[in-house]
Amino acid sequence: MAAPGTPDGFDEDEPRAASGGKILEAVLAAGAAGRLDRALADALPQLSRARLRALMEAGAVTRDGAAVTDPSGRAASGTYRVAVPAPAAALPEPQDIPLEILFEDADLIVVDKPAGMAVHPGPGVPDGTLVNALLHHCGASLSGIGGVARPGVVHRLDKDTSGVMVAAKTDAAHRGLAALFAAHDIERSYIALVRGAPRPPAGEIRTRIGRSTHDRMKMAVLKTGGREAVTHYRTERTFGPPGAPLAARLVCRLETGRTHQIRVHMASLGSPCLGDPVYGSGAPAAAVREALRESGLARQALHAAVLGFVHPVTGERLRFESTPPPDMAALEARLSDL
């Protein structure tokens, strides 16, 4: 699993080039002045400032071993290393990866995505994605509206979030599904195992979410900017002493679908998803840590359990449910003994 706060394919302390990539090194002398992206572009003329900015924001640049993520920061002396990934293939390749298919017709396909599978290729994840698997299973029938890198993709789950997803096989289905998501006319419920228990035990979280101003690798609740994000949550069960629960099982219903929305919102309540490597600040109680260790869960305890919508072509009402996979089930079983 990727180190906390870093993109898939990079270690926490030192970036490494993806397979086939390369590491470029630049030494800025004492007295270096101006913006960092400009200084590095002067030192590494083979890379444009725009390319360097993107690499910095992706966590692929270090100075003396520490990640540098602010392109507009002032240049400072030191040894900079830039991990440049190998050029990505123009098109994702079909790969024979097993899929758990919940429903399929001529227009769309609904799958139960496992944890650890990215939805589409990206930096540090060149293949092995849901898109690669769908290309093999569906062939050329996937909708092209999502672009050549993301055919059929209408919505996403985080790489390490498991659960139900739908993909479009025709352009008509893609347009229809996109309209349903835009109108928030999709039923989406998630199961989350969180640290402690939120107060109040049920409610609505309505904030703005955008890229963190302190860490470009994270999303955050913002006072201004970003996009509106609405999550409805309900505590189903608590674990541990009744007056001071150590963990809880929540059902979270999404009204909007922002990047990392549930993870950010639960953290903002002081009850981050257990096992979350990015937003799980603060250690859970010792008994919960032991339960995590024994369960083998090595990701955020978040599962997309329900997806319901009206079929955009046939008009049929569809609803799919998925039970949490073994790692989350094992964690919940151990939490039940607290």
Going by the DSSP 8-state scheme, the letter that residue 82 receives in this structure is: E
Nearby residues of 195 by Cβ (< 8 Å), 6 or more positions away: 246, 247, 271, 272, 273, 274, 280, 282, 284, 288
Centre a 10 Å sphere on the Cβ of residue 16 and count the other Cβ atoms it contains: 15
Cβ atoms 187, 306 nearer than 8 A: yes
Residues in the chain: 338
297 vs 56, 235, 268, CA distance in Å?
Answer: 30, 21, 22
List alpha helices for the chain, DSSP H. Answer: 36-43, 49-57, 130-138, 171-182, 261-268, 286-295, 326-335
Neighbours of 225 (CB within 10 A): 10
Is 158 an active-site residue?
Answer: yes
Question: Could you say which of 37, 107, 112, 158 is catalytic?
Answer: 158
Per DSSP, the three-state class of 130 is helix
Report helix, strand or coil for 221: strand
Report d(CA 250, CA 155) in Å as an integer. Answer: 22
Residues taking part in catalysis: 158
